[in-house]
A and B are shown apart, each in its own frame.
Chain A
């Protein structure tokens, strides 16, 4: 009980840096996801039409994904220096793979019979993409965005090491001052953010599943 009340005191005392950290954290994660979507979705559509190069692009993003996150931040600092942009780029790199792969899998997974029917009926490539392929692959795409978001919110904690702020700052301060309560005051909001994004995006995923497809 002692611990909980100590923890609560720390939260109250340091609420300014916690709130500031949370806002930075959200801003950073959110920007990274939006930019990653803007890159990955068109790229995913492109590689679904050029399947020979698909493995190549997915491979590149997969290689990025295998770099340990702390190391990636480390690699980027000598090139880009420290600051918000460095953290943003690192997070975008991490978010690319799940979104790209799911966009690709979603589109290529659309029943070929449906595509053939569309072509045969005289739909243009664009009409097939927007009226058939994207609506039918939307649940996959949303699942990719969800995975990427949860991942990004977690990794954004490391942004503090390149001076980009976020809740990582709070955790780091806590670690440096052997203040476990402060560490938790940073870590718990990160976990809550990740969980609530996961929850909201799961709802969105369900919502975007076309009605006729849910019947399966």
Chain B
């Protein structure tokens, strides 16, 4: 969806903010850019809607170079949420949300309906909130409006620049959870800048770790915790998080393939379980069918067998050297 090819940015004062990055952001993914301050994460994000222009390299959206598009047109197709919220204080919530649809020339009836839908989507009752002004709302409510304002123009892409970092911890957690749910229902491509590793691990499908204008690692939260690419990434994530991730064992996330015996004896009489199943499903099946072992099947081929003993020791946390 969004592709960076050898993108560099040198500012007028000579600072090399971005030292040549290649990045591909897939459609429908929530990608977090993270790194210490000055690493270029915000610059990278702002190049997507041309608030900052790259010094060299190309950025394309759906294969089209964004340099060929008019700034204003491009931005109307990209939602934008900022840390300091930036709602227009002299306009009602309704007018704030309706601004981009209005600028895009969408019919009044249509966008008024959309405002109502969007406000309901983030739990703000339209009849109560739409005639209010931003300053009458709490910080968390304001940023909810900030998010739906970005959605109002129905952009396929949304950029979020540390959207929750100015909020109190409780609102922040709520909004992170809501964003995750929202992402599931609206399937937008979201680029999310943050400096908070917990936030990135919580909301992102993919995390891009940056340092000094370069990308250090691109990985899913799980991969990042289990296989940090280098010492910098490791220390940036924090030893504590890595350890706790390694130690957390959850029957919900461990796949049956992890404890399967790959060279079993005769397995023909055993009930079958698919390779994607987790340990909990395996345990349930064993109980239901009163089985001592299950065969693991993928695409109609048998991969191996899991035995009850092995499953029990795994669930109980009794690990014997394999």
Contact = CB atoms under 8 A, between A and B. Distances in A.
Interface of A: 111, 113-124, 127, 131-132, 135-136, 210-213, 215-216
A121 B136 contact: no
Nearest to B93: A212
B310 interface: no
Contact of B90 (A117, A121, A124, A136): A136
Among B78, B84, B149, the one with the most A-chain Cβ atoms within 10 Å of its Cβ is B84
A136 B90 CA distance: 7
30 contacts: A111-B86, A111-B89, A114-B87, A114-B88, A116-B84, A117-B82, A117-B87, A118-B88, A120-B51, A120-B82, A121-B75, A121-B79, A121-B99, A121-B100, A122-B75, A122-B76, A122-B103, A122-B153, A123-B72, A127-B103, A131-B88, A135-B90, A136-B89, A211-B90, A211-B133, A212-B90, A212-B92, A212-B133, A212-B135, A213-B89
A6 B153 CA distance: 73
Interface in B161-197: none
SS of B interface (majority): mixed
Interface string B128-165: 00000111100000000010011001000001000000
B4 interface: no
Contacts of B136: 215
B74 interface: yes
Contacts of A115: 86
Interface of B: 49, 51, 71-80, 82, 84-92, 99-100, 103, 133-136, 146, 149-150, 153, 159
A124 B104 CA distance: 12
Contacts of B91: 212
A119 B149 CA distance: 14
Nearest to B159: A120
A123 B153 CA distance: 13
A78 to B, nearest CB: 49
A136 B84 CA distance: 17
A122 B82 contact: no
Contact of B80 (A114, A121, A136, A210): A121
**Pairs of residues from A and B, 10 with the lowest C-beta to C-beta distance, nearest first:** A117-B86, A212-B133, A122-B75, A210-B90, A113-B84, A120-B80, A122-B76, A113-B86, A215-B135, A212-B89
B89 A120 contact: no
Contacts of B92: 212
Contacts of A127: 103
Contacts of A215: 133, 135-136
Contacts of A211: 90, 133
A136 B73 CA distance: 25
